[in-house]
Structure 1
Amino acid sequence: MATIILLFLLLSGLSTITAQQKYSNITLGSSLSPKTNPSSWLSPSGQFAFGFYPEGEDDFIVAIWFAQVPEKTVIWTYNQDDPKNPSNVTLQMTTDGRLVLQTARGQAKDIPTATDSASSASMLDSGNFVLYDSNLDVLWESFNSPTDTIVQGQRLLADSRLVSSASRTDHSKGRFILGMQTDGNLVQYPYTDTSWATPWYSYWSSNTYGAGDNVTVNLDKNGHLYLLNSTGFNIRNLSPAVSPSDGTIYYRMTIDVDGIFRLYSLSPSDNWSIKWSSTEDKCEPKGLCGLNGYCTLSDQESVCRCLPGFDFVNQAQRMLGCGKNTSEYGCEKENYSMRLLDSTEWEDNPYAILSSPNIQDCEEMCLTDCNCEAAIFSNLKCSKQRLPLRFGRRVINSESTALIKVGNRRFTTTNEPEPNKQGKKVLSHEILITIVVIAIVAFIVLMVSGVLIYRYRVWVYHQLPDTGRIGLNEEITLQSFTYLELEKATNGFREEVGRGSFGTVFKGVISNGERIIAVKRLERVVDEGEREFRTEMRVIGRTHHKNLVRLLGYCHEGSNRLLVYEYMCNGSLENFLFKPEKYPSWDERVGIALNIARGILYLHEECETQIIHCDIKPQNILMDEFFCAKISDFGLAKLLKPDQTKTFTGIRGTRGYVAPEWHRNLPITVKADVYSYGIMLMEIICCRKKLDTELQEDEIVLSDWVLQCFEEGDLGKLVDDEVVDKKRLERMVKVALWCIQDDPALRPHMKKVVLMLEGTIEIPVPPGPSSFLSSI
């Protein structure tokens, strides 16, 4: 008897060990890193992997993927909002039972949200990653937190959703959702904002409304996709069973980048193949082509086009939508014409609907209305619209026509010719002959002009030694001046026109008095050799943008360091903005805000060498003769001595505009300029300074007051009830609040700031930033 009991205990122990080995292939203390071995944990068969998946040249995401197929398809992604990680992170199963993503600076993020500490983990052959407690009970599993895919044996639970990826190579959140609603309906929506379940935005559903509050989407091992209610009753087959599986065929259902969800199969000798899709119409997903773009089919493939007067925001990613390619000017009817898009349908979001007997009357109604930017003519109704338009698609035989108001000047288009009222025009033989003759004459004139200009420039070049190099054409090279030349040009540095962080600015003239210049005499800058200083000047000299003050030349003689700029006759934005006798108009302020944003975008992303300004403020924004805003003092931050600051040792910038990371010894990135821009944008909106102790207590700190007005829904107070475009005011306030977020990662890049200001992309509601000004 004792022998039998002993044998029973031994077998029980062996079975426990076997179970532990089966499920606990990842023990406490195990870790992964992207560029060392191991970088992932494999399932027992090696079919699935959990760990670091490469995305881009030096970025990695924490993901689950098929590891034994040529196209290593990702089926689950951690932190779809911001999945990318650098190569110096570590994924660790800690000794206290947490799965933690550890950064190089020691910051840690718990990946799953299990309430209890885990004892082990497993990457299963089903594609499920699981955390267990000491009794091998499941604490957390990836199957219950899907991202854009479910695999065979997995369910999409009620009140859960799948969100498409941004692109095939970017697994962050995209623009489409498949949601299993609590009313029993499986529905697809465009991901427009935080409110994803908006019935009138849906473009596909299972039509199972009212089937119960606990309906699930199921995919079995035979490739059968269906809906079950809480009693286990099959209420709808989405796809038929493809074929009985012997374990060698895998299935997955994914909501793809284009907004269509598809069922795929994979056999050992083949690649992924589509077995079923929710629709064959690739233009059906709403918003596929982004704001101000519309979808049309070509050989059954979706093709994105732009509205007349618009270009793609990114030619390589046309799904991002379109932005205006013309500038805005006056409201007068003669400045605009209407362009027509026949057979197109859009989201119907009018601010006015009028009866219209014909399309010509609808055109006239929009042209004579300053608020009208577009109109939809359908069923003898003229629906006036404001931009942006969205959810556009071309529908054959549709009676809906879109009318777009386009400026008559500087209009260009990169899209297909759009139909107008008379249809497509055919050039006559005589017009073609005229065009050819004009082109030949223009070519001859250009050739002659080119020869003359070339000869003139060669002559000027040979004359340079006799002119002391004053007036050197800046298109040829950055001018190197002597100190005596600049002393003479400024009449002994007599007329001071400005003073800032770097030194004093004087007015001068060159080229025999024909060109006015501004000479900045640098003070208290870092001591460096002539070669290093010239290198910095060449970097600044290669920056050319209409919203940057142009550097014409420099002087480096001994301790004398001077910079020569184009002269800005209308002073700084500070003087222009804060004059109580005449504030700039709302339209002028909108233009200024956009011009500055475009200038900073150029410095951050578009010039040859990235430049972080470090001191964005109204004093460093200058106004030219046409009151166009231009950024000055860019590229000079690294020339400052460490103690040359306004308030804080080691901080570059001006109190109230500097980002919080300056005070926390964190790395300084382009997001520091974004913060400064956000503070200045509030000043531009409100025509007041960031700090004004003469106002009421709750209005002293501008950022706090703006946030308060935004939360109370009373933005009119910010502009003294001035007549403004309320939609644009709200847009600018939301952009400013995003820009001044404490966490640099939450602030948008300047590219996104420009797109948001232009109205090209939507702006989610910003969280309330903690005011830094109030703490200093």
Structure 2
Amino acid sequence: MLDNGNFVLYDSSRRITWQSFDSPTDALLPGQRLRPGVELVSSASKTNPARGIFRLAMQTDGNLVQYPVEISGPSYAYYASDTWGTGNNVSLNLDNDGHLYLLNGSSIIRNLTTGQYRKRTIYLARIDVDGIFRLYYRSLDPQGNWTKEWSTSEDKCAPLGLCGLNGYCIQLDTVAECECLPGFDHVNPSNWTSGCERNFVMEGCKAKDQNVSYEIIPLDNVVWEDDNYGVLVSMTKEDCTKACLEDCNCDAAFFQDGNCRKQRLPLRYGRRVQSNPTVSLIKVNKTAPSTRGVSSGSGKEIKKEIRLDVLIISILLFALAAFILAISGIYVHRNRLLKKDQTNTYTGIRGTRGYVAPEWHRKLPVTVKADVYSFGIVLLEIICGRKSVDSSLSPDEAILEEWVYNAFEVGELSKLVGEEEVDERKLERLIKIGIWCIQDEPSLRPSMKKVLLMLEGTVDIPLPPSPTSFLSTM
């Protein structure tokens, strides 16, 4: 075993008969190269080194390309170095200083990284479980950790097939989440790559049950592989919906610019993108009961799946309610509040509790951001199941926004929902949105349009500051 990590076998003449550097698995070490016609394959999981579902191929045409393991071709590449046609002897190389590059014989044809020498530091290039090829470095000090230096993509949803069949990927903040088609559930919730399956029984073309009824649920801003079995032209969206409903072979249809492309299951390589013109029309059985999650003892599992999904829909409705409240309720009580403000009842940094934005009581300019504040309070009330002010609770929990932020700051969001089981990522996302909305300083609050984009998962949500942090420094 050499110091660079290469395991070498010699014959009696000290000639190398085999070395591990010639047989890479999922990673490259400094001094190792990925030769033409050789590929790296991701592991099945972080704890299972078996063959995964993504690969990085050093092709014999000189191009370095990433594909799903089961398929090749330009339309399935989710990363390429664009160096095709540069020769059949191109290799990927990693040097001791983290210089990662493509070499043709003795000539460098593409630098992926420039390299940076660091004392007592080692480098590693690896195709990770999520399908992205990354370069890492780590200090040799005992407290050193692996840190990302470079990657083929910052889009966690770029790898095709991350969410399996009938699932689609959504990037939320810096993580990827997998959702199922309407009417589908995860095959294995702990392994998203296993994909999704119907949660109802689909009758075949020869079914005699006339009581079976189907409907079409539209899904926007999601792209899939187009493997259609028929294309109808000069159609409206309503025409396309009707055509799929009347075709017992049609499981879904993609509609764009008057073209209706009929699809059979499974749908593959789904991912959400912004402003995608194609609408996915998904056929579901609206009369059949769900076949998933109905066994004894599954109540908590069903509750976990439903609560936050319904919550996302509910808060969109409450956005309108909050707007009406901000416009009507605040104006109705304005005179009373201003009068009390003159007697110092409402003065101070935290001069108000409830739905009314603080600027009303501080004689500050009132903008549409007051509506955002009201929405944030309503959102947090829905999540936590309590009013914004509750005198029956302890001082630490009586003021909702302070209680929520304290739980967020120490990483104890579970206590906000009691014993109810919820999706922790969705819970954290909604709490972060709520905290941004209730910032004391109006300029720190997002617009309602951005709030909706946050709820959809199409924009990142940075870590919010304490709702009182800005004004408390003034």
TM-score (norm 1): 0.37
User: Does 2:280 correspond to 1:402?
Assistant: yes
Deviation of 1:356 after TM superposition, in Å, equals: 4.2
**2:75: which partner in 1?**
200
Deviation of 1:319 after TM superposition, in Å, equals: 2.4
CA distance in 1, matches of 2:211, 2:155: 40
Bigger Rg, which one = 1
CA distance in 2, matches of 1:125, 1:141: 13
Aligned residues of 1:221 and 1:245 also touching (Cα < 8 A): no
CA distance in 2, matches of 1:408, 1:356: 28
Deviation of 1:157 after TM superposition, in Å, equals: 0.3
Q: What is the CA deviation profile of residues 671-691 of structure 1, one whole-angstrom value per residue up to 9, with x for unaligned ones?
A: xxxxxxxxxxxxxxxxxxxxx
Aligned residues of 1:373 and 1:385 also touching (Cα < 8 A): yes
Aligned residues of 1:151 and 1:253 also touching (Cα < 8 A): yes
Give the 3-state SS of the residue equivalent to 1:348 in structure 2. Answer: coil
Deviation of 1:158 after TM superposition, in Å, equals: 0.5
**2:125: which partner in 1?**
253
Aligned partner letter, 2:134: R
CA distance in 2, matches of 1:173, 1:385: 30
Aligned pair partner of 1:390 in 268, 280, 288:
268
**2:196: which partner in 1?**
322
**1:278: which partner in 2?**
152
Deviation of 1:217 after TM superposition, in Å, equals: 0.2
**1:266: which partner in 2?**
138
**1:233: which partner in 2?**
107
Aligned residues of 1:189 and 1:201 also touching (Cα < 8 A): yes
Aligned residues of 1:311 and 1:323 also touching (Cα < 8 A): yes
CA distance in 2, matches of 1:376, 1:411: 26
Aligned pair partner of 1:244 in 105, 117, 122:
117
**1:458: which partner in 2?**
none
**2:85: which partner in 1?**
210
Q: Structure 2 vs 1, CA of residues 410 and 359 (structure 1 numbering), >3 Å: closer, same or farther? A: same
Give the 3-state SS of the residue equivalent to 2:235 in structure 1. Answer: coil
Aligned residues of 1:356 and 1:362 also touching (Cα < 8 A): no
Aligned partner letter, 2:131: G
Q: Structure 2 vs 1, CA of residues 266 and 290 (structure 1 numbering), >3 Å: closer, same or farther? A: same
**1:536: which partner in 2?**
none
Q: Structure 2 vs 1, CA of residues 204 and 133 (structure 1 numbering), >3 Å: closer, same or farther? A: same
Give the 3-state SS of the residue equivalent to 1:143 in structure 2. Answer: helix
**1:300: which partner in 2?**
174
Deviation of 1:333 after TM superposition, in Å, equals: 9.5
**1:6: which partner in 2?**
none
Q: Structure 2 vs 1, CA of residues 138 and 362 (structure 1 numbering), >3 Å: closer, same or farther? A: same
CA distance in 1, matches of 2:72, 2:284: 35
Aligned residues of 1:333 and 1:367 also touching (Cα < 8 A): no
Aligned partner letter, 2:169: C
Number of matched pairs: 297
Give the 3-state SS of the residue equivalent to 1:127 in structure 2. Answer: coil
Q: Structure 2 vs 1, CA of residues 360 and 333 (structure 1 numbering), >3 Å: closer, same or farther? A: farther
CA distance in 1, matches of 2:267, 2:234: 21
Within-5 A mapping of 1:293-372: 293-331=167-205, 335-372=213-250
Give the 3-state SS of the residue equivalent to 2:60 in structure 1. Answer: coil
Aligned residues of 1:296 and 1:304 also touching (Cα < 8 A): yes
Aligned partner letter, 2:173: D
Aligned residues of 2:162 and 2:192 also touching (Cα < 8 A): no
CA distance in 2, matches of 1:215, 1:135: 31
Give the 3-state SS of the residue equivalent to 1:171 in structure 2. Answer: coil
Give the 3-state SS of the residue equivalent to 1:197 in structure 2. Answer: coil
User: Does 2:46 correspond to 1:172?
Assistant: no
Deviation of 1:379 after TM superposition, in Å, equals: 2.4
Aligned partner letter, 1:244: Y
Deviation of 1:328 after TM superposition, in Å, equals: 1.8
**1:223: which partner in 2?**
98
Aligned residues of 1:333 and 1:368 also touching (Cα < 8 A): no
Deviation of 1:281 after TM superposition, in Å, equals: 0.6
Within-5 A mapping of 1:78-93: none
**1:753: which partner in 2?**
none
CA distance in 1, matches of 2:231, 2:53: 30
Deviation of 1:318 after TM superposition, in Å, equals: 1.8
Within-5 A mapping of 1:734-749: none
**2:294: which partner in 1?**
none
Deviation of 1:149 after TM superposition, in Å, equals: 0.3
TM-score (norm 2): 0.60
Aligned partner letter, 1:173: R
CA distance in 2, matches of 1:198, 1:257: 21
Give the 3-state SS of the residue equivalent to 2:93 in structure 1. Answer: strand
**2:16: which partner in 1?**
138
Q: Structure 2 vs 1, CA of residues 175 and 199 (structure 1 numbering), >3 Å: closer, same or farther? A: same
Give the 3-state SS of the residue equivalent to 1:337 in structure 2. Answer: strand
Deviation of 1:401 after TM superposition, in Å, equals: 1.3
Within-5 A mapping of 1:493-508: none
Give the 3-state SS of the residue equivalent to 1:126 in structure 2. Answer: coil
User: Does 2:66 correspond to 1:188?
Assistant: yes
**Where does the alignment leave 5 or more consecutive residues of structure 2 unmatched?**
291-301, 311-315, 322-474
Give the % identical residues: 50
Within-5 A mapping of 1:615-694: none
Aligned residues of 2:60 and 2:88 also touching (Cα < 8 A): yes
Aligned partner letter, 2:274: I
Q: What is the CA deviation profile of residues 701-730 of structure 1, one whole-angstrom value per residue up to 9, with x for unaligned ones?
A: xxxxxxxxxxxxxxxxxxxxxxxxxxxxxx
Deviation of 1:311 after TM superposition, in Å, equals: 0.4
Aligned partner letter, 1:297: Q
